[in-house]
Amino acid sequence: MDDNSTTDIHVPRDRNSTFEPVIIPKHEKRSPLFNDQIISMYSYGMSCRDIQRHLQEVYGVNVSSELISHVTESVMMDVKEWQNRPLDKSYPILFLDALRVN
Q: What is the value of pTM for the model shown?
A: 0.51
Q: Would you say how long the chain is, in residues?
A: 102
2 near 34, Cβ under 8 Å?
no
Say how far apart CA 15 and CA 4 lie, in whole Å: 35
Q: What is the mean pLDDT of the chain?
A: 80
- Identify the pLDDT of residue 11: 67
Domain ranges of the chain: 1-102
Sign of CA dihedral 64, 66, 71, 75: positive
Q: What is the pLDDT of residues 15-45, one digit of tens each?
A: 777 777 666 677 776 666 777 888 888 888 8
Q: Helix, strand or coil for residue 35?
A: helix
Say how far apart CA 98 and CA 96 lie, in whole Å: 7
Count of C-beta atoms within a 10 Å radius of residue 57: 9
> Given a cut of 50, is residue 57 above it in pLDDT?
yes
